[in-house]
Every structure is written in C-alpha cells, then in structure tokens.
C-alpha cells in the first residue's frame, strides 16, 4: 500500500542537508511540525513550519527534556489509518496523522569521547527522539521513518517516483534501519553505564559496531564477511588494494605485538597470525633486517609492522621482498613514493591508532566467549630465577623479550632469541616437543651467525617433561624462561642445574589459542 505524505515531523540534531529535504516536501505540499533548534533552522531556511508546542497545545518543559513526549504526537505516529476504531478516537480527540518522521539523535557517543562532565554527558541521552523512532518503525505499515542523512536521497527518489507517496517495501526497509539505530544508540548508553560500574561481565552483554565495509570474502572465497568498528578509525590506509578478511586478521595480530615492543625500535614480521620474526634495535635498519632474517621464507608474502616512522632508507629495504602489507607509525613522502611502486602493496599508518582493547571475542554456535585481552605488562617482579646459575641484567631482559613474543605465537609456542631478535619460532603444535623441533630447525636453517653464545628460549607454558628442555640445551640454548606449574617442575630445575642452564619461572602463563 502506498501512503501519501501529508504531515511530517522533523526533529534533528544534525541539521545538515535539511534544505534539500524541505524543498521536496514543499513540492508535495507537506505540512511540517518541528521543535527547538530544528524549528528555528527551518524558519531561517525560509520554509513554513508549525512549532510542536503550538501543535500539541503544551509548552516545552523541564529545560526541553519534554517536548515530543505527548499523546498527540505519539497517537499521530502510532495510529492505523485504516482502523475504524483508531480513526474514531483520533477524530474525537482532534488528533491528526503524522505520516513522515525525520529524526536523528543527540550525539551521545561523541559526548562520551569528549572531556565533558558526566552531567553534560547524561543530558546527551536522547529520550523523545528514540521514542518517536521506535513508534514509527513499529507502525511502518503506515508511517515513514528517516533516521540518517544517508537516507535523504532515498526519500527524495521515493517521493518523486511515487508522486509524494511511499511504498510499503520502502517503509519496511526504513523500519529495519530505524530499529538498528535505536538498538545501537541504547547499546552505547548501556556500555557507558556498565563501564561506570566497573562490571566486566554484566548479566547481559551487547556487542555493537558500525559497518566499515563489506569485504570481498571471508577466510575463503565461499564465505561472506564484513568489518565493523565500535570506536574511532584505528588506522589509515595510504595505498594498495582493499584489505581482505585475512589481511585484517593478520594486521591486527601484527599491531598487537608491535605495540608491546619498546617505542620507535621494534619490527614484526607476521604470517597467518603467527610472528615469524621480531626484533628491537636502536638502528632501525638492523631491527628490520634481523626480523626478516629469522625466517626469510615465511616473510615472503607476509606483513611487516614497525612502531616507528618509515623513511626512504627503510622503504628501500622493504621493497626488496614481496609483502602484502607494510604498517608504520607514519611514513615520509619519499617512503610512500618508493612503496607505491608496488601497486598492490597495502601501506597502513597507525599514527592515530587507539590501542584500547577492552575485551576479546570468540563466537560459535550462537554462543560467544568474552575475555580480557592478554595485555599484562611483563615486569621483572613477575619472574623468579630458579636455577643455581643466575642471569645478568641484559640476559634477563633478553629472556623477557622472548617470553613477550611467545604469548603472541599460537600454542604450543617456543621462541628462540639472541640479542633481542627472534632466531627460531615453533608455533601451533599439539606437542611442545614438536614446537621445540620446529624452533631449533628454523634457527639452524636461517642463522647466518653460527655462534651459539647467548641463545635464549621461551615457552608459553611449562614443560610437562624434561625432554623439551634437554632438546633446547643440545641445540645450544643456555637460558630458558617458562611459567611454573608442572608437577615435574623440580625435575626440570634439576636438569637445568645439571646442564648448567639458567632457568627462569614466570608467575603467569600466556596461551594463545
């Protein structure tokens, strides 16, 4: 059923592009009702409009908190125009139909990201707007609800194509959009109050986000995918092909690791969610080269993330290998020019990245798991030397570096490092012993410097038997860091002392499943 638009109620916080809507409504002789700032703006633009207080016969009260919350407004929105009983009641009360409702809300989300006082933030919780939107969306059989500036052109086309009327299909589509808008708005408010209470896991959890883009496909071509965000833009893509589902997954994993490294000196090479090379060095070129040297074969077609500004020298170094993505804190103009020569290479800037990550989510079978992200700062107090031989300051820092990288490697994880660079990584094995084999084999395969002094190993969990420790020791490792907790911890300590190894226990475990 097509519905003729005769009366429209407009109440918007964002008043951009109002003129184009008012012009089309004037063309079809639509009466307009409005209030507050919207009413003033409509008059300033030279269009006729009746103020809501005049329409309802009731003044705006409570500093504007109550203006559209009136039975004449909501009856005008909620009545069924072909219902005889509704028609009779409306006529007896001298209430008129409201056919079109154009509303956008107070910017609550923007206000909580500002420095406003809590009392000001609370005032930005819109009450009347969402109430009208929900009413109109419920009654889409007869009413048209516009909740976004993005819908203005759709409305104009609909009215032009149907001579001032709207179709049911159009109204139902807008109804869906309207309920999404109110649900998102309420979710943001709910999360704000949950955060105020410091309650990490409330009795009901609402996950919300705005669609950034539909992706070409998911992990595989037969899977559909999209990316959503519930915060400000986290990065800037300077150049290259569109990012895929797998690109995003890898990129986020790489950035997480880079963010834990000392500022302005860290490089991460990542492939399929696993780091295949990490290094920190004050000489940024050495940092980059060392990260790549850990596993140059895996680096091919991977991601490189740097927590510093990328200049032309670093860009030239990066251009020597095939990469999917290069991530930097920022880029010089010369660096961008060099990297752009590889047309498909994605260049990502993280200068404005918001590193806040309150909860991580995993979902399956209509259930989802929430947990705090593993962002624990690794402090020396978190570790205990349990071997007779003790590490010096530099050695302990090297061990903690390896242990930090280990928590970003898929379990079971083993990381072998030397001089603040990884030289062998074993990931994702069902046996910790197999991870040891892979890490050792990578080290032996790619290390140009064959010296075996000062080689350290980290494990993301305790060694359940002594065989893993023994295998690492035979490979040349002379210090190991691991969480405690095994019933055979004493046996591991005994073996370490027998082999003259340094052994450090962590008080915390860091699985990455």
CATH superfamily to which 3-196 belongs: Methylglyoxal synthase-like domain (3.40.50.1380)
Please, which pLDDT band fits residue 510 given cuts at 50, 70 and 90? confident
Is the bond preceding 412 in cis, omega lying within 30 degrees of 0?
yes
Options 3.40.140.20, 2.60.40.10, 3.30.565.10, 3.50.40.10; which CATH number does 236-349 get? Answer: 3.40.140.20
Q: Which of 173-177, 406-410, 463-467 has the lowest mean pLDDT?
A: 463-467
Residue 488 has pLDDT above 80, yes or no: yes
Q: What pLDDT does 376 receive? A: 84
Cα distances (angstroms) measured from residue 485 to each of 88, 389, 390, 403, 507: 77, 21, 21, 16, 9
DSSP 3-state of 458: strand
Q: What pLDDT does 451 receive? A: 61
- Please report where in the chains the tokens 């004050």 appear, as a residue: 282
How confident is the prediction for the chain on average, in pLDDT? Answer: 91
CA dist 77 and 79 (Å) reads: 6
Q: For residue 62, how many C-alpha atoms fall within 13 Å in the half-sphere facing its CB? A: 8
- Total-model pTM: 0.86
Taking the domain 380-506, which CATH number applies? 3.40.140.20
Compare 152 and 207 and report the one with higher pLDDT: 152
Catalytic residues: 138, 272
CATH 3.40.50.1380 domain locations along the chain = 3-196
Residue 286 has pLDDT above 80, yes or no: yes
Residue 387 is encoded by which pair of tokens? Answer: 């071997």
CB 18 within 8 A of CB 41: yes
Residue 346 has pLDDT above 80, yes or no: yes
Residue 232 has pLDDT above 70, yes or no: no
CA dist 40 and 197 (Å) reads: 39
Using one digit for the tens of pLDDT, what is the confidence trace for 333-345? Answer: 999 999 999 989 9
Q: What pLDDT does 449 receive? A: 58
Contacting residues for 283 by C-beta, under 8 A, at least 6 apart: none
First-to-last alpha carbon distance for the chain, in angstroms, is 54
CATH 3.40.140.20 domain locations along the chain = 236-349, 380-506
Q: Which helix (H) or strand (E) holds 85?
A: helix 84-93
Q: Which helix (H) or strand (E) holds 7?
A: strand 7-12
């Amino acid at each position: 059923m097509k519905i003729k638009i005769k009366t429209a109620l407009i109440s918007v916080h964002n008043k951009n592009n109002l003129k184009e809507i008012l012009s089309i409504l004037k063309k079809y002789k639509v009466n307009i009702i409005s209030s507050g700032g919207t009413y003033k703006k409509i008059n300033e633009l030279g269009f006729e409009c009746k103020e809501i207080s005049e329409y309802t016969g009731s003044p705006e009260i409570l500093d504007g908190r109550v203006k559209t919350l009136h039975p004449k407004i909501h009856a005008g929105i909620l009545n069924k125009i072909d219902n005889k009983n509704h028609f009779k009641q409306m006529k007896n009360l001298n209430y008129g139909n409201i056919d079109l409702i154009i509303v956008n809300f107070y910017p609550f989300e923007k206000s909580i990201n500002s420095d406003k006082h809590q009392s000001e933030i609370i005032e930005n919780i819109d009450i009347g707007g969402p109430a009208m939107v929900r009413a109109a969306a419920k009654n889409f059989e007869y009413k048209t609800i516009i909740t976004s500036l993005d819908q203005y052109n759709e409305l104009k086309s609909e009215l032009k194509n149907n001579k001032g009327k709207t179709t049911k299909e159009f109204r139902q589509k807008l109804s869906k959009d309207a309920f999404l808008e109110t649900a998102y708005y309420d979710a943001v408010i709910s999360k704000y109050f949950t955060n105020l209470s410091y309650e990490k896991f409330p009795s009901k959890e609402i996950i919300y986000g705005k669609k950034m883009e539909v992706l070409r496909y998911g992990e595989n071509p037969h899977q559909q995918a999209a990316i959503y965000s519930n915060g400000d833009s986290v990065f800037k893509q300077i150049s290259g092909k569109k990012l895929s589902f797998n690109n995003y997954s890898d990129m986020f994993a790489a950035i997480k690791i880079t963010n834990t490294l000392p500022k302005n000196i860290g490089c991460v090479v990542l492939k399929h969610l696993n780091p295949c090379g990490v290094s920190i060095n004050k000489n940024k070129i050495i940092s980059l080269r060392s990260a790549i040297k850990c596993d140059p074969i895996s680096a091919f077609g991977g991601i490189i993330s740097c927590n510093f500004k990328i200049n032309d020298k670093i860009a030239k170094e990066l251009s020597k290998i095939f990469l999917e993505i290069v991530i930097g804190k920022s880029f010089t103009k010369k660096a961008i020019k060099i990297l752009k020569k590889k047309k498909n290479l994605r260049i990502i800037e993280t200068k404005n990245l918001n590193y806040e990550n309150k909860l991580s989510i995993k979902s399956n079978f209509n259930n989802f798991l929430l947990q705090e992200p593993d962002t624990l700062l690794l402090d020396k107090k978190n570790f205990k030397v349990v071997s007779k031989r003790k590490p010096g300051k530099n050695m302990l820092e090297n061990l903690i570096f390896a242990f930090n990288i280990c928590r970003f490697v898929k379990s079971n994880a083993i990381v072998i490092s030397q001089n603040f660079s990884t030289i062998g990584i074993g990931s994702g094995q069902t046996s910790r012993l197999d991870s040891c084999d892979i890490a050792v084999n990578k080290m032996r395969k790619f290390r140009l410097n064959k010296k075996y002094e000062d080689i350290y190993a980290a494990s993301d969990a305790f060694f359940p038997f002594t065989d893993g420790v023994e295998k690492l020791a035979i490979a040349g490792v002379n210090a190991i860091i691991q969480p405690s907790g095994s019933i055979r911890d004493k046996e591991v300590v005994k073996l370490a002392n027998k082999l003259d190894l340094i052994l450090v226990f962590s008080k915390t475990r860091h699985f990455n499943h």
